């Protein structure tokens, strides 16, 4: 069959989408199953790691930290660790993170309307 692939189209597409589409830009940051949920829980104020775990029982610890780290490097949350004996770490939204809440609200509003059949 002799492969003809020149370069990775996947990466090309990613670049294309990122450059051309702000929606993709947002998706890259809050896409995935857990990020919006985490953001939602942080919207009410700062939370400890263990509080988040209890608030979102279905998430695994690996996913929780992984996403928290990504949100941190994306400048959407701030991690604050106090150097105490049993670790005490809190997470809270940055201004950019808070700026996403209207987006989430808009989505929630549409979802409610749609689920109620407002459009059908």
Sheet holding 47-48, edge to edge: 47-48, 88-93, 77-82
Picking from 38, 119, 3, 90, the residue whose alpha carbon sits closest to that of residue 29 is 38
**Contact set for a copy of itself, span 28-47 (CB under 8 A):** 31, 33, 36-37, 40
Q: Out of 3, 58, 84, 85, which residue is the one contacting a copy of itself (CB under 8 A)?
A: 58
Binding part of the chain for DNA, among 18-26, 45-53, 94-102, 103-111 by CB under 7 A, reads: 45-53
Q: Out of 21, 46, 51, 79, which residue is the one contacting a copy of itself (CB under 8 A)?
A: 21
Q: Considering the complex, what minimum distance in angstroms separates the CB of residue 105 from DNA?
A: 21
In the beta sheet, which residues pair with residue 91?
Answer: 47, 79
Binding of residue 33 to DNA (CB under 7 A):
yes
């Amino acid at each position: 069959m002799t492969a003809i692939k020149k370069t990775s189209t996947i990466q090309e597409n990613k670049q294309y989408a990122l450059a051309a589409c702000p929606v993709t830009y947002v998706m890259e940051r809050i896409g995935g199953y857990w990020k919006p949920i985490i953001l939602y829980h942080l919207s009410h104020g700062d939370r400890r790691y263990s509080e988040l775990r209890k608030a979102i029982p279905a998430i695994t610890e690996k996913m929780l930290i992984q996403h928290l780290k990504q949100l941190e490097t994306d400048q959407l949350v701030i991690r604050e660790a106090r150097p105490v004996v049993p670790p005490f770490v809190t997470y809270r939204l940055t201004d950019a993170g808070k700026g996403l809440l209207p987006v989430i609200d808009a989505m929630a509003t549409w979802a409610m309307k749609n689920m109620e059949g407002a459009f059908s």
